[in-house]
Structure 1
């Protein structure tokens, strides 16, 4: 007998388009079971063909047939089934399924797409960042989810700055989407006259339906610059405190040896120490966190000003911020229940709990089998 714990089914999920009062047969292959039953069918129009065949690859092949009814609700309809180990008869009652096989099963999902009433389209928009002077390419993916073909469509793209002011309008070439179909269109935009900054693009496709299809995306027109996004600090006087600086590259090429320098002053402007974070090499457009340590062993609680300089090969970024240095009494303490919460949410505890639950199910089932056997005798 094969190892049911290694069971799998292929395909695990498929998508079909709905054609009323037609049928479609789907072939499946299952591993890990040498006898099985098809159970828990989610739709009445799915039939198991009772044609299983063992293959030399160690798999078992079988087919099911979908017989589409006249109507189904518009949208995505899920239809599926479970394959349960331990019974060769697809109609076998639960008491006929043997031992551990009764709790060993794998499932398959069949998604049936039914057109929405009238005309209906859905789109997505994607754009990669680009350095100033390099083009930005907009990718629009469109799906036809309605009852009719959609012909002679155009996508309008509006590009706005962070204040919402539209600074560029574009129109794609015409395209069409058949029923159940999809289309992908591209539009190129030059950035020579753009100021390096963050921008938002909105794509609009009017298909004479209930309303236009709309999608948005954000992108960067970059320059050789590393942005300081902020820092994370929970600092206490009398201690050495970890400080994390969060950064983002605005450059479409690698940026080497990036690190942050913090120079600290108290509320009176008096020097209160300085430190450097670890360094990192950034990939294009990458966000990262840099860790450093501030020695506050001889400092009083209060607000401290941090003069922050990001240094990197090719430039630097300067900013400032405020770090609150708490007294030890104000420092957060860990309540007893927080440790218990950590234990209860740990992967090891969850695995042990699942094993105990499975053992209880097996004991219950074996007792039920023994009771049924005793009644027959």
Structure 2
């Protein structure tokens, strides 16, 4: 009886999970972006998708929902929703004002457990700030030391006035020492417009490592605006970051070697040659490739039958791109306590004690 109840429970759970897996809903596109203008009238189209037979309520929400007209307030299994916005002459709040178009599935009239969909699309209305206002974004790509690095400063005029944007770029090393201070030029940017200022920096005198870039843009505001990003300059080097340390005696053991690339290009055909010092034991791992700045694991196998010491050493040599680097590591045998042996010894001692007690009593 108990087994039958358990079987019924798992069958019930299976059908619930099947319903969850089959649940499918979404919207395309997920977002529109529009610049505000007084009295703006514009139409948008969203395509909603729901499960077969799903009954869906459609409605608008957000700061500007009162300026929205929908062609329908309900859908069956999804469909097209046409949205018309008629914005006022003035919006008090500058910045991003969102209109949300929500499609919410009604609970099933048949009862049972279902996964109800709730999908939200968005119309982003960008309202300009009064006067001068701008935002920036710095893009700082990784590169290899010695290469030319092209930084991008994106300047977006979100105000009502035309601005004169003076861009500067500063670069600092890990000790916060200034490596470069570049005057990148001036841009005239109209309202609702943006500029991508490219700043090229030679890194011939830079060492490999991590650096910080700070972009500053003075457009006549209270103070310059800034954005900062870290970037890395690579060298053709693969580091061993971790490895297996403990092994089991008298069997074939697996050894994992974790590696990390410090190069901004792919590293191909990377493999490890491992030799146990003072033993005629060695192995070579299969080769792998590393993406720029990525990590991966090399794996090889060796037999510990001939190793007598508890501790021993291995020389790991990484071979890649006609280059090699070596590291000597400490290894040892697993010190896991053999509880079975201790239990057997304990039982033997207990029997001896009982025999002694019986004999002398």
Give the TM-score normalised by structure 2.
0.66
Distance in 2 between the 1:291 and 1:17 partners? 53
Partner residue of 2:299 out of 286, 292, 298? 292
Equivalent residue number for residue 314 of structure 1:
322
Task: Tell me how far apart the structure 1 counterparts of residues 99 and 33 of structure 2 sit (CA, whole Å).
Answer: 10
1:317 is displaced (CA, Å) by 1.6
For 1:209 and 1:197, how far apart are their aligned partners in 2? 37
SS at match of 1:45: helix
**Aligned counterpart, 1:186:** 198
* Residue 323 to residue 17, structure 1, CA distance change in 2 (3 Å): farther
Contact in 1 for aligned 2:164/2:188 (Cα 8 Å): yes
Q: For the structure 1 residues 321 and 45, does the alpha-carbon distance in structure 2 shift closer, same or farther, using more than 3 Å as the test?
A: farther
Alpha-carbon offset, residue 226 of structure 1: 2.6
Count residues with an aligned counterpart: 304
- Match in the other structure for 1:248: 261
1:129 is matched with 143
Q: Equivalent residues in 2 for 1:1-377 (5 A)?
A: 8-19=26-37, 22-30=40-48, 37-39=57-59, 41-43=61-63, 44-50=65-71, 60=80, 62-68=82-88, 70-84=90-104, 103-115=116-128, 119-130=133-144, 132=146, 134-145=147-158, 147-149=159-161, 151-191=163-203, 193-194=204-205, 197-207=208-218, 208-220=221-233, 222=235, 225-233=236-244, 235-238=246-249, 240-248=253-261, 250=263, 252=265, 255-264=267-276, 271=279, 273-282=281-290, 285=292, 287-293=294-300, 295=302, 297-298=304-305, 305-323=313-331, 325-329=333-337
Q: For the residues of structure 1 that align with 2:197 and 2:259, how far apart are their CA atoms?
A: 36
Cα deviation, residue 248, structure 1: 0.7
Contact 1:242 1:294 in 2 (8 A): yes
Gapped regions of structure 2 (runs ≥ 5): 1-21, 339-361
Deviates more, 1:303-312 or 1:25-34: 25-34
CA distance 1:212–1:61, shift in 2 (3 Å): closer
Contact in 2 for aligned 1:264/1:305 (Cα 8 Å): yes
8 Å contact 2:268–2:289 — kept in the other structure? yes
In structure 2, the residue matched to 1:339 is: none
Q: Over alpha carbons, which structure has the higher Rg?
A: 2
**TM value normalised by structure 1:** 0.63
Q: Flag structure 1 segments of 5+ consecutive residues without an equivalent.
A: 87-93, 331-377
Partners of 1:130 and 1:221 in 2: CA distance: 4
Structure 1 residues 187 and 98, CA, compared in 2 at 3 Å: closer, same or farther? same
SS of corresponding position for 1:230: strand
C-alpha distance in 1, partners of 2:245/2:165?
54
- With over 3 angstroms needed to count, the CA separation of the structure-2 counterparts of 1:106 and 1:214, relative to structure 1, is closer
- SS at 1:174 equivalent: strand
Taking only aligned residues, the RMSD between alpha carbons, in angstroms, comes to 4.2
Given that 2:170 and 2:213 are in contact with CA atoms closer than 8 Å, whether structure 1 keeps it comes out as yes
Q: Are the structure 2 counterparts of residues 326 and 40 from structure 1 closer, same or farther at C-alpha, using a change threshold of 3 Å?
A: farther
Contact in 2 for aligned 1:161/1:167 (Cα 8 Å): yes
CA contact (8 A) 1:275 1:292 kept: no
Shift of 1:80: 0.7
Using the TM superposition, give the Cα deviation of residue 322 of structure 1 relative to its aligned residue in structure 2, in angstroms: 4.3
